[in-house]
């Protein structure tokens, strides 16, 4: 598929993004609690990603925000007004769905016009605004086509234009890229970010792809079992995860046996600062990032003997997994020119970077 | 393994003959000149003679009754069954099996048994709505359930109505507009199929009308066939042709205005 570069930007309404707040939102499905008292505040124009594994409640939170799911208790405030009991069609939101949601019996431009038509905007004006929105997503020439004549990426662009043409106060994106191939995903996510920034619209983006969340969002909320485990900028989440779950979910980590001693984690004789809550002395798994491990030579201080378990070429770098003397496997990212063979002996060195740790045994 | 073209043509030919043979025999019968062995157009031209309207008045009344019944039955399907199915599909998916079971029941109950159950019900119906022929549509609304349900359900299953309706609602459409502007255009094929099949079933129904002492096309044809079998067969053929055209239309009229090839 060839993506057309956008040529025009829809008129931004200064300060059009709304403040969004979830206060103690609880949602139950029978005996299962999908949302266990979510609290979240979003500033106008902010782009927040809800990140977490399947079943963590991220889509439920988004649907609660849209009104497509009712909540059992708590408040949902948009610009300070509680909309928890307001029906979806009166919340003034735009939404892009995971599955293709264009109306198959309408042309592209009719799809984009739909929200304006429901708002009883005059035909000439809605045609003009719909054309402008299509230009914004680079599909100005595709207005007369039907959904089935577009690729997946193009359909999601039209869905984005359709959601934005009404100038909603909040844009909700429910894994809109998950059905697309890798290259289109990256292109479209960049474009979504550019457009939402240009329009200053408050955006909630649900994804299970941590790379996507870190790349696109101002702040990321990591969710587990209906709760927000941590919310922060991508850098904060990556560098200072508050618990092993966040450390493990955001970025790649290796679980290496160690010991907490006086508030530090000792791994193969190296004392590493402990992230998060202080832990009592005892055995733990240290969660070590690949970039905090380096290839070394035998005579270096703290060198750990290891053997190559597997190695993958990732383009600009290579990731190799080594087996340590205790049998655990540690991942290392290194120069592509170092290409170890499986079974090769090597030495590794731990950088003195802070690590998260989870109890062992 | 796919059957060869020859196999397919043979199967099609045999099945076609099974259906065509009695119809062709009926056509040939309408041209017979009594027991003389000769053929004539008199039976067909007689339908357009000056006194035909008077001779076949009962038959024409019955045709009117059947068409009225078809319209009311389709109305029942569209006003009761269709919204119920959409509601169950969108809001109460757990009830899908129950609804399917209820809708399939009439196909398992012989018409004669159905009438035994309906007779006392019609005692009440007559008191409330009077004895007009159109009230028979309540019974027909039940008999067409299995066919109408299948037609609509297959369309519901083929379209992601949940996502489409949610998309519509996020774009400020209320439920009425979602139904009118989003769902119905995408369920057109199923709705038309359900309607046409209902019409075909109603036009061919005899048992219930006969046992509840109502006059419809089939009961009138039986009556006419006792005095003029040629005319009865002509009208049976025309009813068949009408139903055949309706069924052919399902495939054609149900198409949306999409253009280009499916990707």
> Which of A60, A83, A146, A176 is the best mutation test for B, with the most CBs of B within 10 A?
A146
Asked if residue A291 belongs to a domain, the reply is yes
Return d(Cα A193, Cα A214) in angstroms, integer. Answer: 12
Residue appearing with tokens 């009695």: B22
pLDDT grade, residue A337 (50/70/90)?
Answer: confident
pLDDT in tens, A16-48: 689 999 999 999 999 999 999 999 999 999 999
Cβ–Cβ below 8 Å for A148 and B168: no
pTM of the model: 0.81
Cβ–Cβ below 8 Å for B177 and A114: no
Residue (of A235, A233, A230, A218) closest to A276 by Cα position: A230
Output the DSSP codes for A206-260: EES-HHHHHHH-SEEEEEETTEEEEEE-HHHHHHS-SSHHHHHHSS--EEEEEEE
Q: Is A145 on the interface with B (CB under 8 A)?
A: yes
Q: Which of B169, B170, B258 sits opposite A146 (nearest CB)?
A: B258
Q: Is B259 on the interface with A (CB under 8 A)?
A: yes
Return d(Cα B39, Cα B45) in angstroms, integer. Answer: 13
User: What is the arithmetic mean of pLDDT over B172-182?
Assistant: 95
Q: Is A121 on the interface with B (CB under 8 A)?
A: no
Is residue A209 located within the same domain as residue A320? no
pLDDT grade, residue B250 (50/70/90)?
Answer: low
pLDDT grade, residue A116 (50/70/90)?
Answer: very high
Residues of chain A by 3-state class (helix, strand, coil), percent to 5: 25, 35, 40
pLDDT at A7: 40
Q: Which residue of A has its CA nearest to B165?
A: A101
Helices B188-204, B217-227: inter-axial angle, 10-degree rounding: 30
User: What is the arithmetic mean of pLDDT over A147-169?
Assistant: 94
Domain span including residue A184:
20-239
Single out the residue in A239, A269, A295 at which a domain terminates. A239
Is residue A207 located within the same domain as residue A342? no
Is residue A290 located within the same domain as residue A349? yes
Is residue A144 located within the same domain as residue A292? no
Contact A2, A185 (CB under 8 A): no
pLDDT in tens, A277-291: 888 999 999 999 999
Task: Give the B window 154-183 contacts with A, CB below 8 Å.
Answer: 159-160, 163-164, 166-174, 177, 181-182
User: What is the arithmetic mean of pLDDT over A175-183?
Assistant: 90
Single out the residue in A212, A239, A266 at which a domain terminates. A239
Q: Which of A95, A103, A149 sits opposite B170 (nearest CB)?
A: A95
Cβ–Cβ below 8 Å for B166 and A89: no
Q: Which residue of B has its CA nearest to A102?
A: B164
Cβ–Cβ below 8 Å for B172 and A148: no
Asked if residue A14 belongs to a domain, the reply is no
Q: Is A104 on the interface with B (CB under 8 A)?
A: yes
3 state SS of B131: coil
Is residue A87 located within the same domain as residue A227? yes
User: Which residues of chain B make contact with A114, given a CB cutoff of 8 A?
Assistant: 168, 171, 173, 181
pLDDT in tens, B19-76: 999 999 999 999 998 878 788 888 888 888 877 777 778 888 999 999 999 999 999 9
For the cut 70, the answer to whether the pLDDT of residue A10 exceeds it is no
Cβ–Cβ below 8 Å for B262 and A105: no
Residue appearing with tokens 């902010």: A46
In chain A, how many domains are there? 2
Is residue A337 located within the same domain as residue A234? no
Asked if residue A327 belongs to a domain, the reply is yes
ipTM: 0.84
3 state SS of A284: strand
Cβ–Cβ below 8 Å for A105 and B159: no
Is residue A74 located within the same domain as residue A213? yes
Return d(Cα A137, Cα A8) in angstroms, integer. Answer: 8
CATH code where residue A319 lies = 2.40.50.140
Single out the residue in A214, A239, A264 at which a domain terminates. A239
Q: Which of B170, B173, B262 sits opposite A94 (nearest CB)?
A: B170
> Which of A88, A116, A161 is the best mutation test for B, with the most CBs of B within 10 A?
A88
Residue appearing with tokens 């493990």: A248
pLDDT at B182: 96
CATH code where residue A227 lies = 3.40.50.300
Return d(Cα B182, Cα A105) in angstroms, integer. Answer: 8
Return d(Cα A146, Cα A141) in angstroms, integer. Answer: 12
Asked if residue A28 belongs to a domain, the reply is yes
Q: Which of B171, B186, B259 sits opposite A118 (nearest CB)?
A: B171
For the cut 60, the answer to whether the pLDDT of residue A240 exceeds it is yes
- In chain B, where are the structural domains located? 55-253
- CATH entry 1.10.3720.10 includes domain B55-253: yes
User: What is the arithmetic mean of pLDDT over A198-224?
Assistant: 95
pLDDT at B115: 87
């Amino acid at each position: 598929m060839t993506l057309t570069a956008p040529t025009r930007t829809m008129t931004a309404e200064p300060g059009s993004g709304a403040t969004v707040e979830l206060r103690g939102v609880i949602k139950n499905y029978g005996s299962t609690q999908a949302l266990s008292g979510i609290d979240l505040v979003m500033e106008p124009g902010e782009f927040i990603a809800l990140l977490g594994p399947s079943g963590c409640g991220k889509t439920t939170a988004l649907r609660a925000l849209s009104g497509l799911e009712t909540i059992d208790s708590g408040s949902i405030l948009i610009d300070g007004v509680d909309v928890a009991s307001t029906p979806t069609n009166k919340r003034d939101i735009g939404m892009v769905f995971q599955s293709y949601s264009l109306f198959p019996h309408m042309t592209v431009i009719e799809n984009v016009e739909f929200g304006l038509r429901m708002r009883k905007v005059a035909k000439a004006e809605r045609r003009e605004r719909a054309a402008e929105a299509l230009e914004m997503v680079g599909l100005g020439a595709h207005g007369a086509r039907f959904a089935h004549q577009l690729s997946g990426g193009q359909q999601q662009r039209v869905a984005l234009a359709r959601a934005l043409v009404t100038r909603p106060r909040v844009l909700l994106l429910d894994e809109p890229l998950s059905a697309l191939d890798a290259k289109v995903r990256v292109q479209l996510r960049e474009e979504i970010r550019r457009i939402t920034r240009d329009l200053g619209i408050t955006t909630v983006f649900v994804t299970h792809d941590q790379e996507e969340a870190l790349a696109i969002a101002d702040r990321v909320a990591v969710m587990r079992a209906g709760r927000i485990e941590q919310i922060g900028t991508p850098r904060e989440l990556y560098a200072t995860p508050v618990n092993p779950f966040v450390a493990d979910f955001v970025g790649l980590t290796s679980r290496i046996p160690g010991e907490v001693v006086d508030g530090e984690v000792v791994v193969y004789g190296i004392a590493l600062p402990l992230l998060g809550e202080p832990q009592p002395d005892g055995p733990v798994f240290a969660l070590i990032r690949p970039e905090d491990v380096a290839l070394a030579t035998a005579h270096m201080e703290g060198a750990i003997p290891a053997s190559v378990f597997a190695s993958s070429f990732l383009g600009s770098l290579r990731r190799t997994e080594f087996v340590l003397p205790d049998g655990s496997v540690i991942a290392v990212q290194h120069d592509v020119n170092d290409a170890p063979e499986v079974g090769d002996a090597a030495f590794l060195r731990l950088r003195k970077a802070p690590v998260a740790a989870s109890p062992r045994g | 393994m796919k059957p060869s073209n020859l196999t397919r043509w043979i199967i099609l030919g045999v099945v076609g003959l099974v259906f065509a043979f009695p119809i062709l025999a009926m056509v040939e019968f309408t041209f017979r000149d009594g027991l003389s062995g000769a053929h004539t157009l008199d039976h067909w031209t007689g339908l357009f003679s000056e006194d035909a309207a008077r001779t076949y008045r009962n038959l024409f009344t019955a045709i009117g009754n059947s068409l009225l019944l078809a319209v009311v039955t389709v109305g029942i399907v569209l006003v009761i069954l269709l919204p119920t199915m959409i509601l169950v599909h969108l809001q109460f998916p757990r009830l899908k099996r129950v609804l399917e079971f209820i809708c399939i029941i009439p196909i398992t109950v012989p018409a004669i048994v159905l009438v035994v159950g309906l007779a006392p019900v019609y005692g009440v119906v007559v008191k409330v709505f009077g004895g007009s022929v159109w009230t028979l549509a309540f019974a027909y609304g039940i008999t067409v359930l299995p066919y109408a349900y299948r037609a609509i359900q297959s369309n519901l299953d083929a379209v992601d109505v949940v996502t489409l309706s949610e998309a519509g609602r996020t774009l400020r459409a209320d439920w009425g507009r979602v139904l009118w502007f989003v769902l119905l255009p995408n369920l057109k094929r199923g709705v038309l199929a359900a309607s046409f099949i209902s019409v075909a079933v109603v036009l061919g129904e005899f048992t219930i009308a006969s046992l509840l002492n109502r006059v419809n096309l089939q009961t009138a044809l039986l009556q006419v066939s006792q005095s003029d079998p040629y005319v009865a067969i002509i009208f049976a053929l025309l009813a068949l042709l009408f139903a055949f055209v309706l069924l052919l239309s399902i495939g054609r009229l149900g198409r949306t205005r999409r253009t280009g090839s499916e990707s």
